[in-house]
Structure 1
């Protein structure tokens, strides 16, 4: 009986681990973005996204004003930005090919508020919704290598249900160099399941 219970607990633990997408919190931007300014391609106004050398902060906005956003969390293909000293966040899917370092495909961000948030988000479904539009950010003044019109392979986290195309839980934003400070790797949860930890 003891072995049966032990095996059952182990099976549940493995099952929950398999259905959990990897989360980087706190996160850092890919190294190839740092010290670069990307512009939205084919827009009628100037909007820029400038990444700092520290890999943690960025300036985002247009000629009317730019705001300081930090890299708050990366879960799978989804980047969550936080406005400096505010409870205002953005969540959107990112598709980035390190072999084309000056181009970023992104969904139109979903803006949301979370009061006094200090830890990682475990349920992304309420605010990482299907984007209303797609962006191509480019730091290259020439024509983009990414074919137009834009499309994304998926646009919803793996733990969420349609509408939208659900991403693979093993997919993530690629990084080509290690971060300067090792982030904490956690897991987002499938639905409302709780992860079990072995007792010490």
Structure 2
């Protein structure tokens, strides 16, 4: 939303401070609106992409659970035939699928949050764009009045460094890097914890299946 907010601020600055110095105010106002349209299209594309990503994560989660159930059934069958090694392997596979499901679930939840965030941003952008369209005629009239009053050749804008945009850009990059670092650190800690308890979990599953298995006579 930084780009849209900057466009709004620039337009207000034109009206309140330097509108009387613009060479072609109508052209500039239309350019601002076109820039906002591009931002809207970009947001819509990103939202569509994130929505598709959420569906993909959801499908992968369901697939992992199906594979986990099938692996458990294989473990039951192997244990019933006293094939302990195969039963253990099946339970290992089951746990791997469950670990993957947990990882995909975290990604799915993050994707859903991002989708909601993009939907809110798009809604706000659409509101701002509608407001800008409604005010365009008024701004054009005020620009014309300034030009008529001046009755001089219009002058172009002087160069002004947009340092605020550059600072904001660096801040966004830093925030994204910090976010990725935090995600990697969290993933590594979760992986270490899962590895430490995996063997105990497998033994627990074997015990459960042995207890559930029918006694051979």
Please confirm whether the aligned pair reaches a TM-score higher than 0.5, indicating the same fold.
Answer: no
Alignment TM class, shorter chain as reference: under 0.3
Q: What is the TM-score when the length of structure 2 is the normalising length?
A: 0.21
* Structure number having the greater helix percentage: 2
* Structure number having the greater strand percentage: 1
- Higher RCO (C-alpha 8 Å, min separation 6): 2
